[in-house]
Amino acid sequence: MVVVEGATLATFVTGPITMIIIGVLLNIIGLGMFCWVLFTLAVYALPFFAGVTAGIYSFQVGAGPVGAIVFGFTAAGLTLAAGQYAFSAARSPFVRLVIGLLFAVPAARAGHDVILAFAHMGVPSEWWREAFAVFGAIAVGGTAWARMSIVEKSAF
């Protein structure tokens, strides 16, 4: 076996084309996860807003950072659980409509704003940006409505 000084081992994994492919794939995965988190957060816009509001208020009255975080998560969870229970226990279609809209309208607004912000990055036409944003609002609002109505009465 002969060893040559200064010779580098060329492997398939360290080649420039492989690194570009891996970089593109990781960017796609990262962007997909970011979009998933934004979509989930938009669907749960009302509980998230209630949790953030309660957490900020509890921090301002002296609960401390850990107490504010715990109180915020508790308020968000209770808001979601109370809304789902009220939606599943209500017999009147009008009451169910009002409760569903309380969760779907903020979610639709959040979905509209997120899609509009993404559309500003790559869509030059204002009309198309707004069309995508309206479609996003309908999709996120519909998903929030579906997640509200999925809980059955027997689950509680």
- 52 is written with which tokens? 């953030």
HEC assignment per residue over 125-137: CHHHHHHHHHHHH
In this structure, is residue 34 part of a structural domain? no
* Alpha-carbon span 129 to 121, nearest angstrom: 10
Structure confidence at residue 155 as a pLDDT band (50, 70, 90): very low
In this structure, is residue 26 part of a structural domain? no
In this structure, is residue 105 part of a structural domain? yes
In this structure, is residue 95 part of a structural domain? yes
In this structure, is residue 32 part of a structural domain? no
In this structure, is residue 147 part of a structural domain? yes
In this structure, is residue 6 part of a structural domain? no
The mean-pLDDT minimum among 16-20, 102-106, 111-115, 137-141 falls in 16-20
Q: What is the pLDDT of residue 68?
A: 94
**What are the tens digits of pLDDT across the range 90-125?**
888 898 889 888 888 999 998 899 889 988 988 888
**What are the tens digits of pLDDT across the range 37-65?**
888 887 888 899 999 999 999 999 998 99
Range of 94's domain? 41-155
Number of domains in the chain: 1
In this structure, is residue 16 part of a structural domain? no
Taking residues 136-143, report their average pLDDT. Answer: 89
